[in-house]
Structures are given as C-alpha cells and as structure tokens.
Amino acid sequence: MSYLFSYDYRYDDNAYDTETSNKQVDVEDSIGQIYVKYIEPGTAQHGGIFDDTSLRLHRTKHEQFVRDAMHGLSSGFSVLDASQPWLAFWSLNSLDIMGRKINSATRTRALQTVLRFQDQRGGFCGGQHQLPHLAGTYASVMALVLVGGDDAFASINRERMYEWLMTMKREDGAFAVHEGGEVDVRGVYCVLVVASLLNIMTAELVSGVTEFVARCQTCEGGLGPYPGVEAHGGYTLCALAALEIIGSTHVLDLKRLARWMSARQMAFEGGFSGRTNKLVDGCYSYWVGGAFSILQRALSRTPQDDLLYERRALQRYVLACCQDTRIGGLRDKPGKSADLYHTMYGLLGLSLAQHYVGVDPQTRISDTTSVYSVPARMMQWDVVTSAADVVGVSSNVVKPVHPVYGVSLVPLAKCIKYFYALPPLALSL
C-alpha cells in the first residue's frame, strides 16, 4: 500500500531556532533521506508516493544479534550489572516475538541464571549479592514466563515474594523499588504484574494504588512517574497497565489522556516521542503503542473504530528506520546503535501495530471484587484477525502480544493457568 510522503509534515519552529528544534531538524533530515528511497518514480512533484510494499523485517539478522548477545557480552556492558534479569528478558522475549525457538540448552541456562537472582527474603535482585528490586523482580518473573514449565513456575517462592512486596508498600499506595529506593508508577506496575501472574493479589497489596496513579496524571493529560512531574510515555504505559489489571482505568481523564497520547506520534517520522518536544524513539513503539491498546479498551472502542494512532506509519518507522540491517538488532533512530532494549520494545510495538489485540466491549468482565476476576479479565484480551494490518512483505508478521504484560499470549496463558490452580493468598481483593 502507498501513502503520500511530504516534507510539509516536518516540524515548524516558527523561525525560532532552539537546541531542541535543531535536533529535531537533524533527525527529520536523517529519516527523510531514508524515506525518499521508497518514493515511486514520477510522483515526487507534490511530495511523492511512498511505496512501503518492499519493507522487510530482517528476522534472521535480528535473531543472530540476540543469540550472539546471549553467548556473552563485552566488558563495556558491566554498566548493566544491576540489570542482568533484563538482559535475559529482552533476549528471550525478542526471540519469542519473532517466532524463534528457545531450545532446551537456552532454556536451562536462562532458568539457572534467573534463579540465581532470587533473594531468600523474597523478590529478585538485579544481579548476585545485590538488593532485591522491583524492576529486577518484574524482569525475572517475565523471563520465567517465557522459559515456561512447572519447574520454572514452582521455583518462585510466592509467600516470600508477597511478604517482600508488602515491605516495599507505602502509605500513599505506591511502592519503593527497593529498600530505601525511589517511588514511582514503575514500581506500581511491576508489583501488579508480578502479583497478578503469581496469584498473590490482596486488598492490602492494592490499597491506595488507584488513588496514587490517578494523582500522577498531569495537566497535559499523560502520566508522570509521581504526582507533579511531567508526563512521559513509559510511565503512562505503566500507569494505564496497572489500572487495567485492577479494573480502574475509569479514574483517569481519558479524553485528555487520548489527546496527549495522539500528540506523541510524529507527523513526519511516523514513530512516537516519549514527551512533549522530544525526539522520536523506537522504544516508544511499545511504551506509547501499548498504551493506545489499553486506552482502546478503557474507551470501549471496537476494532471497527481502530486504534487512535496511525498503525501503518509506526510500522514504516520501525521497519525503515529502526533496523540495523548490517549486524541485526533494532535501534532508537537512524545514527544510533542497535541494542537488546530497543530490539525487544521495537518488536513489541511492531506487533501491536500489526495485530489488533483487544477486548469486546459487549462481553468484557469489569468485576474487581474477587481475586479470580484478575485472570479472567486479563485473558479476555484476544487477537481480532480481521483487523490485522501488516506493512511490507507478508513474512513481516510477528506474534501478537498482550499490551499489559508485553509478552505473547500463549506463554502468558500457561503461566496464569498454573498459578491460578494454586490457592490464592487471600480470598478477595
């Protein structure tokens, strides 16, 4: 399919140069040089017709990029010593989204590696001999979801996990990310994802969460890390997903949120920025793109309404501008290096733009009074195959993913089935 390409969509600084506007112009220049290669000959007089039918996901190169990283990283990656579970999660999830197998040797190594981070007090650390951390706990649990199997699930100490999570709980409803650590909606998201998957949700755990998250919505409409701070795409996803898990998205000003989120898609680039007056970045393909999927449900919109962003424009940005076609992997934007973080989040965003994953407003479950409503509401999310829209060659299709949890639907369902066959730690929320 083709669409009109035009430099008229570029940023207008109203003849007032700033450092920010100059960087924006530089980014648009680099992206324009890529997009113009896809202009159909003879159509450039009025901007040009962009032919995206040849765009291709370089799946084999991306797989090799990830597998090479899993075999070992250089000493320069020592700065990520406290993010070791994330390296496992980014790698495993990238392979799974692309439909690549996690063989038995990789599974065994990943399981052994992640379990070394489980702290005897509960939770998981970012590395051995470190403090347990909510972010490391989230990444570890999600890596175990992808590894799958009863042995992986049974290795998580649910009772100690719950006790530790409660030590991170604050009176305002939020959570510290570690002992003496910062407090923001990332922590809330990590806690609710882990608790909802492991069947350890309680009224005590979620007390005050809704009120804290609601206070994080800013005058712009998006959500910041904590009350009074600028709205940000990553924190907005965390906040929306947390509220979705407990069935409370209605507490937000959804129309104002939709306006702010819609402004995150860059008219010329097609990708998303994370904040007002910031540059496009491939990772927001998920942080903002996933938030749009959750917003779709919150507004009771249907597949016929489609999502509130231009799905094909986002796919064009990811496929044309974010792939490193030389060594593999995905990147922030042209001129940047590929890394595991942008590879996974770029693929997640690509998936959500290709597939319509949502909930039928006519049949959705809104009950939040029972712990058993959590898996029922989360597993309502399904793929509407008739609403798929894939840019480029047909082989670009990747697996559909759950926008709240950021993993594909099958391993997620297996995890929920295992833990909700166990008795909950409390009878109700």
Q: How many angstroms separate the CA atoms of 258 and 260, rounded? A: 6
How would you label 396-411 residue by residue, b for 16+ Cβ within 10 Å and e otherwise? bbbbbbbbbbbbbbeb
Query: 238, 316, 339, 345: which is the annotated catalytic residue?
Result: 339
Query: 59, 160, 278, 414: which is the annotated catalytic residue?
Result: 278
Determine whether 342 is an active site residue. Answer: yes
Determine whether 71 is an active site residue. Answer: no
Determine whether 332 is an active site residue. Answer: yes
Tell me whether strands 49-51 and 382-384 are parallel, antiparallel or unpaired. unpaired
Three-state secondary structure call for residue 172:
coil
Determine whether 46 is an active site residue. Answer: no
Sign of torsion over alpha carbons 218, 220, 221, 225? negative
Determine whether 96 is an active site residue. Answer: no
Query: 52, 96, 119, 281: which is the annotated catalytic residue?
Result: 281
As beta bridge partners, residue 193 has none
- Look-up of token digits 């409370």: 248
Q: How many angstroms separate the CA atoms of 178 and 198, rounded? A: 20
Q: What is the DSSP letter of 330?
A: B
Q: How many angstroms separate the CA atoms of 342 and 330, rounded? A: 6
Query: 58, 107, 169, 275: which is the annotated catalytic residue?
Result: 275
Determine whether 355 is an active site residue. Answer: no
Determine whether 339 is an active site residue. Answer: yes
Determine whether 172 is an active site residue. Answer: no
Please, which residues have CB within 8 angstroms of residue 212's CB and are 6 or more apart in sequence? 172, 173, 174, 185, 188, 227
Query: 125, 216, 238, 283: which is the annotated catalytic residue?
Result: 283
Phi-psi region of 422 (alpha: psi -120 to 50; beta: other; left: phi over 0): beta
Determine whether 232 is an active site residue. Answer: yes
- Look-up of token digits 């809104």: 366
Task: Report the catalytic residues.
Answer: 232, 275, 278, 281, 283-284, 332, 339, 342
